[in-house]
Amino acid sequence: MTTYYGLYGQIVQYLASDPTDVQIGQVWYNSTSATLKVRNATTSGTWASGGNMATGRNGAMGTGIQTAALGFGGVLEPSPKTNVTEEYDGSAWTAGGNMGSTSYMRGGAGTQTATLAWGGYSTAPLFPTTGVAVESYNGTSWSPATGLGTSRYGPGSAGTQTAALAFGGGTGPTGATPTAATESWNGSSWTAVNSLNTARYSLTGAGTQTAALAFGGAATPGPTAVTESWNGTSWTSVTSMNSGRAQLSAAGTQNNAYAIGGGTPAALVEQYNGTAWSNQTSMTNARSRSASAGTTSSNIVAFQGANPGNGYQTATEEFTAPGTAQTQTVTVS
């Protein structure tokens, strides 16, 4: 016997609120808001505005995820370095504990409540001290930790608070001499391991201590698109980014990494799938020396950075990856 379902498909439900257990393709009428809604999947990545930071700056570092991110350090306008820390809950930023030292372009890894920060640049002659300095955050306050073996500014970062990887960066009084040095952190000390194939500074990275990706940065003679993959022992050159740039930020993993912003500045976003890079939806705000956080493509947040036309930004943007399920209101014109 033919049924209504067989003839016409699913019935449009009449509900007082949106259902919690909802499938892609499901349609319902919300009687409270008087709207027809559908659950679908995004066809391309999208950026949406989040809550603004309290302090506009550039060169801060970010760790965590979209709904629990940490932003720390950086430089304020017109030039003073800062030790300010802010915490993001997915909608608003609040003050965290200040760092013990002021600098910008640090490396860092971890979560909002368990982060390790290292290196960075301050005004000479403080650079040699600041460039090796390491601090640990427990969700409330920062405390000093064992310093790096190689002083560096603008390094690449991967890992966690207790199992981190620091690679590349700039050395010397101005930080403009690139290094390929890589160091591994075991929770109490740093160990020198195999170096990058391409020395560079103002690069970025994603992944873990044993499965990391290093990309972008400034080498000789300028910005590079070079990408290298780390297997826990050595670095291997892989497919380069489509756009060479320095002072960018990153999110994701070794086989699902995002290169965000950077350049002069740029709003460009690229995704690495473990084999090749592809261009993704650009941010609304072009920014260099930006910060970002997120361990998967569905929980990325990008914040702060410099834009010559808009100064040091407080703007925050949140990324929704292609294929992410979302509820939308159906409109009829």
> pLDDT tens across 259-303, in order?
999 999 999 999 999 999 999 999 999 999 999 999 887 789 999
Q: What is the mean pLDDT of residues 240-258?
A: 97
CATH of domain 46-320: 2.120.10.80
Residue range 90-97: mean pLDDT, rounded: 97
Residues of the chain with CATH 2.120.10.80: 46-320
Q: How far is CA 64 from CA 188, 247, 332, in A?
A: 21, 19, 40
Q: What is the pLDDT of residues 117-145, one digit of tens each?
A: 999 987 544 444 568 899 999 999 999 99
pLDDT at 82 over 80: yes
Q: Which of 15-19, 52-56, 213-217, 324-328 has the lowest mean pLDDT?
A: 324-328
Q: Mean pLDDT highest for which of 10-19, 42-51, 200-209, 316-325?
A: 200-209
pLDDT at residue 73 is higher than 80: yes
Overall average pLDDT of the 42-63 stretch: 91
Q: Supply the pLDDT for residue 174.
A: 61
Any idea of the CA torsion for 191, 196, 200, 203, to the nearest 10 degrees?
Answer: -80
Quick one: which of 57, 55, 96, 54 has its CA closest to 290? Answer: 57
pLDDT band at 193 (very low <50, low <70, confident <90, very high): very high
Preceding peptide of 125 cis, ω within 30°: yes
Sheet strands side by side (includes 114-118): 107-111, 114-118, 134-137, 142-145
Q: Specify whether the CB–CB gap between 136 and 142 falls below 8 A.
A: yes
Across all residues in the chain, what is the average pLDDT?
Answer: 90
Percent of the chain, pLDDT > 90?
Answer: 71
Which pLDDT value is given to residue 326? 73
